[in-house]
């Protein structure tokens, strides 16, 4: 499952160098591996209107979707912190849209992966596309 996480880390760390984080000063890089095996990276992009800023994971997922991916098998988030950064709550849900309980989520600092989680452990009992697919016709408005 951890196969190739070195490539994921390299992509995330390279993207982190381009983080636009003038307000928090907190640069984050992320990378996801699409079902095809290709890697997509992103960084956080903040905004003067603070809530409009986006996380690195959202950027990486957008790149994957734009390239035609419909699922991910792994994700990695990287920041220069003593305690490895895990995806924020909103990004756990974003990852859930394209991954499953078994999707590996790596937390890294500048020297590499420091912790490994499953998405199911980070977002247990999650809401996902299957819920929308299983509504009965009578309950749809």
3-state secondary structure of 9: helix
Q: Taking CB under 6 A as the rule, does residue 119 contact ligand THU?
A: no
Nearer to ligand THU, 25 or 137 (CB): 25
Nearer Cβ to ligand THU (46/137): 46
In the three-class reduction of DSSP (H, G, I as helix; E, B as strand; rest coil), residue 54 is classed as strand
97 carries an active-site annotation: no
- DSSP structure string for 70-123: --EEEEEEEES-SSPP---HHHHHHHHHH--TT-EEEEEETTEEEEEEEHHHHS
Of these, 13, 32, 39, 44, which contacts ligand THU (CB under 6 A)?
Answer: 44
Q: Catalog residues that contact ligand THU under the rule CB under 6 A.
A: 21, 24, 26, 28, 44, 46, 53, 55-57, 77, 85, 87-88, 91
């Amino acid at each position: 499952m951890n196969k190739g996480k070195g490539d994921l880390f390299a992509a995330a760390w390279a993207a982190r160098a381009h983080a636009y984080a003038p307000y928090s000063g907190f640069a984050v890089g992320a990378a996801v591996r699409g079902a095809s095996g290709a890697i997509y990276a992103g960084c956080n992009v903040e905004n003067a209107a603070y809530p409009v800023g986006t996380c690195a994971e959202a950027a990486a997922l957008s790149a994957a979707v734009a390239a035609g991916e419909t699922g991910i098998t792994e994700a990695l988030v990287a920041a220069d912190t003593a305690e490895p950064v895990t995806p924020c709550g909103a990004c756990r849900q974003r990852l859930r849209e394209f991954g499953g309980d078994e999707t590996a989520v790596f937390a890294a600092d500048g020297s590499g992966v420091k912790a490994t989680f499953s998405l199911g452990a980070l977002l247990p009992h999650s809401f996902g596309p299957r819920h929308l697919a299983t509504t009965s016709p009578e309950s749809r408005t």
